[in-house]
Amino acid sequence: MGQNNPTVVFLEPKRVTIENRPVPSPGDNGLLVQTTRTLISTGTELTILNGEFPKDSAWAQYGKFPFVPGYDNIGIVVDVGKNVDKDWIGRKVGSYASHSAYVVISPDHARIVPDQASDDGASFFTLAEIVMNGVRRGEITWGDAVVVYGAGLIGQLAARFCHIAGARPVICVDVSDKRLGLLPAGIKSVNPKSEDVVESVSKMTNGRMADVVIETTGNPDVIPQEFKVIKRQGKIVILSSPRGTTANFDFHDLCNSPSYTIIGAHNSSHPNFETPYNQWTQKRHAELFFNFLADGEIDMKPLISHIGSYTEAVKFYQILLEDRTQAMGIVMQWS
């Protein structure tokens, strides 16, 4: 197919381009996928593009430029390797592949997307996997009072999935009325700029406070404040990847004495394989998310702030570099 594979590349910090690269071969064991949609990660990708990752942390692996970003790819299988079942051809799949017109993925890593799920909505599947894992690790169930800190994409999804799981009330805390306005009916909101968060949560929970807090802001300075709304023996799920350390954290007052449970929920804590004891792998969560989309139980349209051709990639990243608070989901169309 030759040299006809437009690919988004970070040349160096704050510099983005589109390179026309060769179309990859599926080899003996791969799937060649023609991309239809990719979603820009306004968190991870922007951190890499800004060069903001701590050099001595796990982020260091992303510090080498040029860098090919992307991990929310939806497309159609157009060719397969000689050892792969040809029934894959024509299937719509999701993968962690890059922002490229053509990508090669392993069949083991492909998420099969039902036709009833829109490509635009399906492109959020990686974020959905991350959030579903956090909700599940928090063991959130019907009747739990949940407070989600942050109304960005991760927080928006967390609030929705907690509500689907039967949590009541679900309360989202953010300083942006615009973001809070994107929450669906049934999910409550609090803006710390105009309301006292502790008083509001107390009132909304009849004084019981939160069974679970979900942290999605990524701001280490905010985290100690989040413990103020948790009931004794409640839980906090760290769903974000906090950018830096939290100073002066008092493990007596914020953990031991009230007997809080602090839960990490990185995407890597998914099990590698389904077992009778835990079936919830990344792929299994993606399947559930696609089912929600296909059934109309979740609507991603309100969370898409920008959508357009991949040829606008440089513009989209510039928007994020200038002020990422003005963007939510940025979907690029490839075909």
In this model, does residue 2 exceed pLDDT 70?
Answer: no
- Band of pLDDT at residue 37, cut at 50, 70 and 90: very high
Cβ atoms of residues 120 and 300 within 8 Å: yes
Phi–psi pair at 214, nearest 5 degrees: -115, 120
* Mean of the per-residue pLDDT values of the chain: 94
pLDDT at residue number 60? 59
The phi and psi torsions of 85 (rounded to 5 degrees) equal -60, 125
Top-level class of domain 5-124+300-333: alpha beta
pLDDT digits (tens, 9 = 90+) for 90-106: 999 999 999 999 999 99
pLDDT at 123: 98
Give the amino acid at 32: L
Instruction: Specify whether domain 133-269 bears CATH 3.40.50.720.
Output: yes
- Boundaries of every domain in the chain: 5-124+300-333, 133-269
Q: 3-class DSSP state for residue 33? A: strand
Q: 315 is written with which tokens?
A: 């513009």
Token pair of 92 as six digits: 């719509």
The per-residue pLDDT for range 119-147, each reduced to its tens digit, is 999 999 999 999 999 999 999 999 999 99
Task: Calculate the CA 178 to chain-centre distance.
Answer: 19
Count of beta carbons in the 10 Å neighbourhood of residue 312: 17
Q: What local confidence, expressed as pLDDT, does residue 9 receive?
A: 98
| Cα atoms in the Cβ-side hemisphere of radius 13 Å centred on 284 | 12
pLDDT tens sequence across 263-304: 999 999 999 999 999 999 999 999 999 999 999 999 999 999
Are domains 5-124+300-333 and 133-269 of this chain identical in fold?
no
Say what the alpha-carbon torsion angle 111, 114, 119, 122 is, to the nearest 10 degrees. -50
Tell me the H-state helices in the chain: 44-50, 119-122, 125-137, 153-164, 177-180, 197-204, 223-226, 282-295, 313-323
The tens digit of pLDDT for each residue in 196-206 reads 999 999 999 99
Distance CA 70, CA 248 (A): 35
Question: Tens of pLDDT along 303-326?
Answer: 999 999 999 999 999 999 998 888
pTM: 0.93
Burial-class residue 257 by CB neighbours within 10 Å (0-12, 13-18, 19+).
Answer: exposed
Q: Could you read off the pLDDT of 230-250 as tens digits, one per residue?
A: 999 999 999 998 878 998 899
Say what the pLDDT of residue 110 is. 98
